[in-house]
Amino acid sequence: MTEMSDINIARNFLNFMVDYYALIRRHVIETNEFRTKSHGFSMLYALRKQRANPITMTEFADEMGITKQQLTKLVNDLEEKGYVQRIHNKENRRQVYISITEIGAEHLDTMLGELVHEVIRAIEGFDENEKTKLSESVCVLSEMFRKDAENCSKARKEKDRE
């Protein structure tokens, strides 16, 4: 792929992101204490994926792209509400894991349900062909974003080994 094509793809992607953000702002009513663009929402969403195996605070700060101090403040706020819990490693008390609680998962599900309802409202005006294109595009983008996340995770682990 030529450099110019990469630039065009990047610009088109950024245009998409701005358009998407505007669509969400037009349709989503922020009724929850966590806005969809907040770290609290992102943290609960990411922790839900980690439900089977809790993640260390250090690993999660790296994954979220925030400092350990910022994560600690977020965890304190979410723990106070009962949405997350800290789990200390029995062999190494300095190693702390975090996980989403049942209450946190239920709260997240409520927030996601509200968002789904608003997205449905946003796409009601689309015809079936547009809805099909949107669905296919979203699936492809999600797959690509997961691949990028895996690549970033691998790169971080390799860097940590050095």
- Kindly state the average pLDDT of the residues 48-64: 82
Residue 88: what residue type?
A: H
| pLDDT of 31 above 70 | no
Mean pLDDT of 77-92: 90
State the pLDDT at residue 140: 92
pLDDT confidence of residue 94? 80
Mean of pLDDT over the chain: 83
The whole-number average pLDDT for the span 125-149 is: 90
pLDDT at 134: 92
Percentage of the residues of the chain whose pLDDT score is greater than 90: 26
What tens digit of pLDDT does each residue of 97-118 get? 999 999 999 999 988 888 888 8
For 120, what's the count of Cα atoms within 13 Å in the CB-facing half-sphere? 6
Angle between helices 39-49 and 102-123 (to 10 degrees): 110
Tell whether the model's pLDDT for residue 129 goes beyond 60. Answer: yes
Residue 102 Ramachandran class (φ > 0 left, ψ -120 to 50 alpha, else beta): alpha
- Measured distance CA(104)–CA(45) in Å, rounded: 10
- Which helix (H) or strand (E) covers residue 145, if one does? helix 128-161
Q: Which ranges of 28-127 does DSSP label H, i.e. alpha helix? A: 39-49, 57-64, 68-80, 102-123
